[in-house]
Structure 1
């Protein structure tokens, strides 16, 4: 293929949504496989991608510069909006007003938590951000599962494709991925965005795995399945 249309996504979220953020990145990786023949590539950047070397100013300035160069800014939040995540939103909004990019999508996780898990500072940060969005007359999208999050964002990408966001080649809709496939007794492959229940026997993750929603399995076998990676205050 002569050319490839590359679009950059900056993904921001508080630390509490690390699992949702990881699932979103896996979703984009699946999209890249499906869209390869159409010459489309989505590059996702998160703050953990950067090295830990000292910045001449602040490390956050490096992250802000990367998001200013992005085409899409996706923000996930739930019970709080950390100071760095909020700063990234403001940097993205300022850049959007100046250049029309990045396109900004905000996703609020709509899942109940025990009141004992709440604290005043986090709750105030959430209310302040809600007020900020109200001022901008921007309405965040609510999601209650990874499937809802990725399904909605996939729809948004299709709408942008129809407008020429990915170039002329991608107009007219993007290809859908395959659904669940039975591959033998007790085996199943799940691709793309699938809703509903999948009941299996033993699930062997081979040492790593991610479940974005509900999985009914008689047994889950795996090694070190989850790695939380780096974490910083203010997320």
Structure 2
């Protein structure tokens, strides 16, 4: 029993024969499950501007502190702000701007009242009304996603050494990344061995069993970002195994 070594030591002995391949640049859409070879920081604030998280009306919160269904506050509508536009005209006291989800909050406004709390629900496709009745009070910052709320310029997004997930790809796309520096996929040659083993799909003769290890290990390698190179089922013959490994390495060099 003294000759046994730990799993960690076995891993260290194996890994000492390998070198990390040079990093390469790949399109973002091809980076899934690869290992990032660079630290990535936010190039700008995210969101890059204050924007509404609801369809509703941007206004001064002080104007609607007393608003209720019984005594609504009536405000003049002076702007219509759909998503994709950028307002520059400020909102003054007593005024409101109709605003869509994701649209920039205009200067002067400090909150958004959801359309459900107004007499404009639901939003219609008709011309912009002249006024709106507000049925509920609001507080500063209500339903406003602040500039830099998610990420601030220069803030680390993902560290080198991270295995890239679908969520990481979405995050990187949100800051405009189209390609990333990554380490190439490790190439792993593998096989099953045993005179009693046959591949699934072949006739199962007496004394034989189907190979489950090779399909499982191949799937595990792919799931963890490796390029699996299965050699099939080999007999319990050291020479055949060595020859097959050498051929696999020769045909699929690192």
More helix by share: 1
TM, length-normalised to structure 1: 0.17
Larger radius of gyration: 2
More strand by share: 2
Higher relative contact order (CA 8 A, sep 6+): 2
